[in-house]
Structure 1
């Protein structure tokens, strides 16, 4: 699939009303990697940073709104290491009877090779862990939105999804413009990937499109990478627009009350 995660530190990386952008630490213990420095094997530099490097997008081709592409489990040409072929089941419902499965390390590597990306084979399993981690976090963010409109999210399904690397969402364009105007306050790096997920609500049969922008955040002090997800319903229905406005209003009021409380001086008893 695309990308997601399993935990969040709850800190908004871009101020103003962009509180849906959460930092998520990498799940991989990079101190245990003896053959590589403590950094993410995925290059999350923007395309502008180096003309010789490709943007760090998901290597699995999700260019059409269909099911998971068929990925070979066979060894790639010139492959020197055996990679696992077992696939991990996600927590994301595909339909009423099955969940989505993530590509195996061998399938992931074959996707990298097919795109012409040079990736050390010993890093592929780490990359798959990061890939799955980000997908799980994205799904948890989707469910937080769904909880605002449904009594139970147990049966919410991911009907289909589409990778759109290189296509900036309107919100991503806005924040890049804000970063250009005020680089000291706002992020100046574009998202390294984008996915559109179509979520099905079985109780009503309604389908809702979510937009997910994937960002790289400043690494931890030990060099471990940090990622950020901006997950929100697309503004293509009245209900989605209403929820986006409602949440933004709630966050503004919460911030106002917090600032007011912090700035208030308690009265003294006379």
Structure 2
């Protein structure tokens, strides 16, 4: 989950709820098909244009790493058809509703095209067993989940947004599919003790998003890290479509974030203790 590109600015698309996926993409992959772990490749991250002539005699760079975009830890992905590819996939990319960077002239984050998605999976060795004609649906689900994550972040940020009248923006993100968040670890531990109450299946993906929270117009931004755990949920009983659950919250790395999480949990508990059940269905 969570790939973005930002080559083009365009009008935002409508926000999407993350409760249920609208795409029936059978066969369904068991987890996120994308390995977000940066791996060594053939490129070099060093700009050799500034190297002196005395150093230019080296036959090759001793560093063998591919240049990664620091905003998403991803390399450049080709839109060319892969060797042996049988189906022609779209190279058009969808513009997200998520503002990119600190200023409006940086536009919106852009999702990968189906062709880029396939090339990425093949490059990472994740393409085996995934039908080419399922890739477009996978991209739709990928985009849907990230739009849902942003909707949840906007909800967390709504109190600050109402004060400053400035919408938050997404500075960068990092995929961490192999790192269980502390909350996910806690849920799995509790699941061993209370299997009827807590889920014992780990999230299939995790992301850390660095969100820019406005300090007021022309007053700059505060960086707030959010953690997003992506869980599979039981298929919808009526349609049989796959469903997902996103656990989105500010990371516990500042007092403000810790207080926000305590307030989000504590206020409803206090209200119910006082006999107010008005938000039970909200």
| TM-score normalised per structure 1 | 0.77
Distance apart, 1:94 and its partner CA: 0.4
Q: Identify if the C-alpha distance between structure 1 residues 163 and 217 changes in structure 2 by more than 3 Å, giving closer, same or farther.
A: same
Between Structure 1 and Structure 2, how many residues are aligned? 226
Q: Identify if the C-alpha distance between structure 1 residues 254 and 43 changes in structure 2 by more than 3 Å, giving closer, same or farther.
A: farther
Task: Give CA deviations for 1:140-192 in whole Å, capped at 9, x if unaligned.
Answer: 00010111233256531100000000100000001111111111111111000
Q: Identify if the C-alpha distance between structure 1 residues 81 and 255 changes in structure 2 by more than 3 Å, giving closer, same or farther.
A: farther
- Corresponding residue SS for 2:188: helix
Equivalent residues of 1:65, 1:162 under 8 A apart? no
Equivalent residues of 1:92, 1:139 under 8 A apart? yes
Equivalent residues of 1:213, 1:230 under 8 A apart? yes
Task: Give CA deviations for 1:70-105 in whole Å, capped at 9, x if unaligned.
Answer: 111001111000000000000000032200000000
Q: Identify if the C-alpha distance between structure 1 residues 214 and 224 changes in structure 2 by more than 3 Å, giving closer, same or farther.
A: same
User: Among residues 201, 223, 236, which one is paired with 1:207 in the alignment?
Assistant: 223
5+ residue gaps, structure 2, are: 5-14, 39-67
Q: Identify if the C-alpha distance between structure 1 residues 243 and 126 changes in structure 2 by more than 3 Å, giving closer, same or farther.
A: same
| TM-score normalised per structure 2 | 0.74
1:78 aligns with 2:84: yes
Match of 2:151 in 1: 140
Q: Distance in 2 between matches of 1:80 and 1:62?
A: 28
- Corresponding residue SS for 1:224: coil
Segment of structure 1 superposing worse, 175-184 or 64-73:
64-73
Task: Give CA deviations for 1:207-226 in whole Å, capped at 9, x if unaligned.
Answer: 00000000001111242100
Equivalent residues of 1:3, 1:134 under 8 A apart? no
Q: Identify if the C-alpha distance between structure 1 residues 107 and 65 changes in structure 2 by more than 3 Å, giving closer, same or farther.
A: closer
Match of 1:27 in 2: 22
Segment of structure 1 superposing worse, 136-145 or 62-71:
62-71
Task: Give CA deviations for 1:215-241 in whole Å, capped at 9, x if unaligned.
Answer: 001111242100000000000001101
**After the TM superposition, which parts of structure 1 deviate over 4 Å for at least 4 consecutive aligned residues?**
62-65, 257-261
Q: Identify if the C-alpha distance between structure 1 residues 133 and 239 changes in structure 2 by more than 3 Å, giving closer, same or farther.
A: same
Distance apart, 1:254 and its partner CA: 4.0
Task: Give CA deviations for 1:114-145 in whole Å, capped at 9, x if unaligned.
Answer: 12122100000000000000000000000101
RMSD, matched Cα: 2.4
Distance apart, 1:253 and its partner CA: 2.6
Q: Identify if the C-alpha distance between structure 1 residues 243 and 82 changes in structure 2 by more than 3 Å, giving closer, same or farther.
A: same
5+ residue gaps, structure 1, are: 9-23, 31-38, 45-55, 262-270
Instruction: Give the structure, 1 or 2, with the largest relative contact order (CA under 8 Å, sep 6 or more).
Output: 1
Match of 1:242 in 2: 259
1:88 aligns with 2:83: no
Distance apart, 1:252 and its partner CA: 1.5
